Amino acid sequence: MILIKDAKQILTLEGAAKKGARHTLDQDLTALTGHAILIEKNKIKWIGPQKEIPKTVFKKIKKEISAKNKVVMPAFTECHTHTVFAGERYTEFEMRNTGVSYQEIAARGGGILSSRKALAATSKADLLKLTQKRVDKFIQQGVATIEIKSGYGLDLENEIKSLEVVKKLKSANFVKTFLGAHAIPKEFGSAKEYLAYLSEFIYPEIKRKKLADRVDIFIEKGFFSVEESRSYLELGKKIGLDIVIHADQLSLSGGTELAVQLGALSADHIIQIQDKEIKNLAQSEVTGVLLPLADLYMKCAYPPARKLIDAGARVAVSTDFNPGSCPSQDVQMTGLLARLEMKMTLAEVIVAYTLGASYALKRQATEGSLEVGKSAQFIFLEDSYAGLFYSSTETCVTHRFFDETLEKLVK
Ligand SMILES: [Zn+2]
């Protein structure tokens, strides 16, 4: 058994967990002082006042870790990333920055299709090396669970290659998402034709090799429509995949409504949603995933976070790290933008980056808050949690506890 003792404060987020990560108030962070945590086999065995640790337990304690002057809280969860890719898209950034639209870049063979070329030309071993390096960068910021999408392969060989790479990654928990329906490759005449190919050739392989937990699709003008997506996602559900949707990012194209209808885990981006979609999302179990760092890069509007939260929706935040529209992995900056641009309170951002994100990945029963029976995955902060999502160059995250070890993080 491991004892975490002398913490200045422990944020368990128990209050937020009781409310299903909705309507978060400051007190839902459940800040405890004078408390300790007992860990056994990577699970939280006990949390309580340090003075009241049961005597019978003491002799079972194999290791004591001091959290003196530190704040202990759940590790972060990145619930929306495209971390497995090859090649950079520097030129495209300059194009976008000089006024060329995302759709226009795609039409010129840029965007996702240029990442496709780079990925196809990269061996699995090299792709794994590249991806692990990026994963380590998330870990250094206190992230314990990372969702990673395929979607730069766009054919059987390279989609499977991408997902197999995710399966081989180390040092964190990973959620694998099949995003074959990210863009329509040139060799297919229509979205419908391409989705039929994915259904017929890639779904069975994913099922056979257990390569994905979820299926995602980019519902947008010029990409995939709601009607094309519906049957494709339903088929994914039949082979055991959970559903997530890139929804209503560039235009109101119905992705959020479809997510609600299909009982998706999350609707992601949701920038263009209006009152009707906000209400329906808030009344559903679908988590709204907000990606403000991508919105900054895309110079587009931010999602209506305030309206969503006030309507009772559960939200998560994530980087959307990808080579095109968000080549940054900055967790602090993401949270900072959520505060500055989406007017979320600090407590709301903390919950959205932990428990809310765990809900988006269907891991809320084991992660996202520090409660008895849940995984012992947490971080130490220097001084105060008020230092989170405050500076884009400094982080108060000093350590992370994962797999029974405490690692010092880069400062
Ligand atoms: Zn994305």
Residue 227 banded pLDDT, cuts 50, 70, 90: very high
Angstrom distance (rounded) from CA 369 to CA 393: 26
Nearest to 369 by CA among 5, 37, 23: 37
Please name the fold of domain 2-74+369-408. Urease, subunit C; domain 1 (2.30.40)
Q: Give 400 Cα–ligand 1 centroid separation in angstroms.
A: 26
Tokens representing 343 are 């007017």
Q: Give 12 Cα–ligand 1 centroid separation in angstroms.
A: 29
Q: Give 384 Cα–ligand 1 centroid separation in angstroms.
A: 32
pLDDT tens digits for 167-224? Answer: 999 999 999 999 999 999 989 999 999 999 999 999 999 999 999 999 999 999 989 9
* pLDDT above 60: residue 405: yes
Residue 22 banded pLDDT, cuts 50, 70, 90: very high
Return the SS3 of 244: strand
> At a CB cut-off of 8 Å and minimum separation 6, what does 388 contact?
332, 335, 346, 349, 350, 381, 395, 396, 397
- What is the strand order of the sheet 378-382 is part of? 31-32, 9-11, 70-74, 378-382, 397-402, 405-408
Angstrom distance (rounded) from CA 168 to CA 60: 35
User: Matching CATH topology for 2-74+369-408 and 77-360?
Assistant: no
Q: Give 321 Cα–ligand 1 centroid separation in angstroms.
A: 7
Name the CATH code of domain 77-360 (choices 3.20.20.140, 3.65.10.10, 3.40.50.300, 1.10.760.10): 3.20.20.140
Q: Give 322 Cα–ligand 1 centroid separation in angstroms.
A: 7
* pLDDT given at position 84: 98
Q: Give 247 Cα–ligand 1 centroid separation in angstroms.
A: 10
DSSP 168-221: H--SSEEEEEEEEETS--TTSSSHHHHHHHIIIIIHHHHHHHT--SEEEEEBST
Q: Give 181 Cα–ligand 1 centroid separation in angstroms.
A: 12
Q: Give 270 Cα–ligand 1 centroid separation in angstroms.
A: 11
Q: Give 200 Cα–ligand 1 centroid separation in angstroms.
A: 24
Single-letter code of the amino acid located at 264 = A
Q: Give 313 Cα–ligand 1 centroid separation in angstroms.
A: 20
Q: Give 69 Cα–ligand 1 centroid separation in angstroms.
A: 37
Angstrom distance (rounded) from CA 14 to CA 291: 25
Tokens representing 126 are 């090299």
* pLDDT given at position 103: 79
Nearest to 374 by CA among 59, 107, 38, 78: 38
Q: Give 266 Cα–ligand 1 centroid separation in angstroms.
A: 12
Q: Give 323 Cα–ligand 1 centroid separation in angstroms.
A: 10
Angstrom distance (rounded) from CA 201 to CA 292: 35
Q: What is the 3-state secondary structure (H, E, C) of 28-91?
A: HHCEECCEEEEEECCEEEEEEEHHHCCHHHHCCCCEEEECECEEEEECEEECCCCCCCCCCCHH
| Chain mean pLDDT for the chain | 96
Yes or no: say if 105 and 253 are a contact pair by the CB < 8 Å rule. Answer: no
What average pLDDT does range 30-39 have in this prediction? 98
Cα-Cα-Cα-Cα torsion 89, 94, 95, 96, nearest 10 degrees, comes to 90
Nearest to 16 by CA among 31, 35, 36, 4: 31
- Of residues 340 and 102, which shows the higher confidence score? 340
What average pLDDT does range 262-272 have in this prediction? 98
* pLDDT given at position 96: 85
Angstrom distance (rounded) from CA 297 to CA 259: 25
pLDDT tens digits for 94-122? Answer: 888 898 887 788 788 788 888 999 999 99
Question: In the chain, what are the domain boundaries?
Answer: 2-74+369-408, 77-360
Single-letter code of the amino acid located at 180 = G
What average pLDDT does range 124-139 have in this prediction? 98
CA distances from 277 to 71, 260, 300 (A): 38, 9, 19
Q: Give 81 Cα–ligand 1 centroid separation in angstroms.
A: 6
Q: Give 73 Cα–ligand 1 centroid separation in angstroms.
A: 27
pLDDT tens digits for 47-56? Answer: 999 999 988 8
Q: Give 232 Cα–ligand 1 centroid separation in angstroms.
A: 19
Q: Give 102 Cα–ligand 1 centroid separation in angstroms.
A: 14
